[in-house]
Chains A and B, each alone.
Chain A
């Protein structure tokens, strides 16, 4: 069983819609990462959270440590937001590797 679960696996929406991607984790973590991977492979780090909420442009990430749950929201979605969004858990401090969720394939149609 994957220690990091994401939902939905696939999401298709119309341009302008509000998007929510959810992540649940079953292990203790020091931080939760949201990453974006475009076709062709490159991975970009969007957020790293250990508590509360962060906002960057149209992207908002929240985390509830007690419930072991995080969400990534995209407001006013645009076709260029189409990508795979990956939730990844950092189990401890220092140089621990990330444990990745299986990703959410997001397609925003014009």
Chain B
């Protein structure tokens, strides 16, 4: 069965650079969530999109922006990268109204900022 795809899987950037992470939800899933998990930390919710509109906002820094496109894939844009942005970034997708409402997680993008 198709799963959530994230790219790239690994990314190394330097301070003050920009990065773009991509998430491709499971086919027919119209909701995408982004989470950040720092080293040794529990995941923190960043932002979510439903039908290409921002749905909920968590602890996303102002330096980050995200959007969902017409094919439902989503991109997380990160600018002026800081050392503290080094983390594992998860994307999840779900279908609102699905009886279970389960979020299906991608494998994550591991970002290292040097």
Contact = CB atoms under 8 A, between A and B. Distances in A.
Contacts of A100: 42-44
Given A97-B48, A99-B45, A100-B43, A42 B102 contact: no
Task: Tell me the dominant secondary structure on chain B's binding face.
Answer: strand
B103 interface: yes
Given A95-B49, A96-B56, A101-B42, A43 B96 contact: no
A57 interface: no
B85 to A, nearest CB: 16
A102 B42 CA distance: 5
B107 A97 contact: no
A30 B47 CA distance: 18
Contact of B105 (A43, A96, A99, A102): A43
Contacts of B72: none
Interface string B76-114: 000000000000101000101000111111011010000
A98 B90 contact: no
Nearest to A31: B101
Contact of B55 (A44, A95, A103): A95
A45 interface: yes
A97 B108 contact: no
Given A95-B50, A95-B96, A100-B42, A42 B107 contact: yes
Nearest to A35: B105
B23 interface: no
Interface of B: 31, 33, 35, 37, 42-50, 55-56, 58, 88, 90, 94, 96, 100-105, 107-108, 110
3 closest A-B pairs by beta carbon, nearest first, are A97-B45, A95-B55, A43-B105
